[in-house]
Amino acid sequence: MILVGENINIMSQTLGPAMKERQAAPIRKMAQDEDTAGVDYLDLNIGPARKTGAELMPWLVQTVQEVSSRPLSLDTTNPDATEAGLKVCKGRALVNSVSLQPERLEKILPLVKKFNSEVIGLLWGVDGMPRDVNERCMLTVDLVYKFNEMGIPNEDIWIDPIATPVTGEISQVKACLEFFQMLPEIAPGCKSIVGLSNVSNGTPSHLRPWLNRTYLVMLERSGLYSAIADATDPELIAIARGLKPGTVSLIHKAMDGADIDTASLSPDEIKYVKTVRVLMGEALYSHAWLES
């Protein structure tokens, strides 16, 4: 499992202001922490950054490159910011992201070609969010066709089917699981990625790791290649690195609906089983899902 650290983000209450004021120290610190935690890529999320993106992104890239040699994911909807970032990026960057919206295709895709980057193909259609696994498959076909036309090979395309919160429609949470099983047939050679923490958006922050970790194991079983994830959760990274085979097999057993004798499980193991039940749609989510 390839991990892309999500923590350098304009939405962060400490790093957001640091970015705006061009304070390098907190950014460097987070980049170092993510690097030490052992993620493979660092995502640099500056949001839409309509006004100052073209100055902010290259500054951020250079600041992070001072302390980490990990490849970078340039996360913005502003094409000028993407281009300015790509210009100063030392290694091969991952452009996050290009969807089927004409503006993104026309402005960002040529940059991917020009700088020989890799690119996240976001399954966001002209009509917005796909409603189920079939719409995700249709969007994938369209998207890969457009990318190939531009000369971008499947190997450089990372498909993101958009993970949605457990508090919303559970069928959408399950749709991602199904999608990754189908992806190799629809788009052979393409990689895949999700914004993992989306699944726990809107849930109590101290409980989010249970949802993130469990969903990661479930998605990996379906064939997920990489995840944009919280680098500050060591347990999540241990799971992604294959260091928690017991947890993984327990989650698989719970997914298969096996009869699990919870009396023999530790409190943490019971939490994983309960979280699988919620993510599979067998029990309806509430903030007290671990206690009920």
Partner 1 sequence: MALELPKLTYSGKIKEITLGSGDTAIKVGGETSYPFFTFEGTMPNLPRIAMEVYDSTPQDWAPAALEPFNGVISDPLAWAQKCVADYGAEMICLQLSSTDPNGANADAETAAATVKKVSDGIKVPLIVWGTANHEKDTDVLRRVCEAVQDRKLVIGPVEEGDYKKIAAVALGYGHTIAASSPIDINLAKQLNILLSNLGVPDNQVVLDPTVSSIGYGIEYCYSVIERIRMAALTQQDEKLAAPIIMNVARETWKSKEAKMATELDPKLGDSRKRGILLEAMSAWALLLAGGDVAVMRHPEAIKLVKSMITDMSQS
Distance (Å, rounded) from C-alpha 100 to C-alpha 178?
A: 21
Is 280 among the residues that bind partner 1 (CB under 8 A)? no
Rounded to 5°, angle at Cα 225 from 41 and 125:
95
Contact 141, 187 (CB under 8 A): yes
Is 287 among the residues that bind partner 1 (CB under 8 A)? yes
Question: Shortest Cβ distance from residue 83 to partner 1 (Å)?
Answer: 42
By C-beta, is 205 or 292 nearer to partner 1? 292
Is 41 among the residues that bind partner 1 (CB under 8 A)? no
Is 291 among the residues that bind partner 1 (CB under 8 A)? yes
Q: Nearest-CA neighbor of 39 among 86, 16, 6?
A: 6
Is 282 among the residues that bind partner 1 (CB under 8 A)? yes
Rg (CA), the chain: 19
The residue count for binding partner 1 (CB under 8 A) is 10
By C-beta, is 134 or 286 nearer to partner 1? 286
SS3 for the chain is: CEEEEEEEECCCCCHHHHHHCCCHHHHHHHHHHHHHHCCCEEEEEEECCCCCHHHHHHHHHHHHHCCCCCCEEEEECCHHHHHHHHHHCCCCCEEEEECCCHHHHHHCHHHHHHCCCEEEEECCECCECCCCHHHHHHHHHHHHHHHHHCCCCHHHEEEECCCCCCCCCHHHHHHHHHHHHHHHHHCCCCEEEEEHHHHHCCCCHHHHHHHHHHHHHHHHHCCCCEEEECCCCHHHHHHHCCCCHHHHHHHHHHHCCCCCCHHHCCHHHHHHHHHHHHHCCCCCCCCCCCCC
By C-beta, is 179 or 285 nearer to partner 1? 285
Contact 3, 240 (CB under 8 A): yes
Is 262 among the residues that bind partner 1 (CB under 8 A)? no
Question: Shortest Cβ distance from residue 61 to partner 1 (Å)?
Answer: 39
Positions in 113-172 near partner 1 (CB under 8 A): 167
Question: Shortest Cβ distance from residue 286 to partner 1 (Å)?
Answer: 4
Question: Shortest Cβ distance from residue 284 to partner 1 (Å)?
Answer: 5
Is 62 among the residues that bind partner 1 (CB under 8 A)? no
By C-beta, is 9 or 201 nearer to partner 1? 201
Is 285 among the residues that bind partner 1 (CB under 8 A)? yes
Stretch in the footprint of partner 1 (CB under 8 A) among 126-134, 151-159, 250-258, 277-285: 277-285
Among 116, 148, 181, 286, binds partner 1 (CB under 8 A): 286
By C-beta, is 22 or 287 nearer to partner 1? 287
Binding mask 167-186 for partner 1 (x = CB under 8 A): x-------------------
Stretch in the footprint of partner 1 (CB under 8 A) among 41-49, 149-157, 224-232, 276-284: 276-284
By C-beta, is 181 or 286 nearer to partner 1? 286
Positions in 205-244 near partner 1 (CB under 8 A): none
Is 283 among the residues that bind partner 1 (CB under 8 A)? yes
**Residues engaged in binding partner 1 (CB under 8 A):** 167, 282-288, 291-292
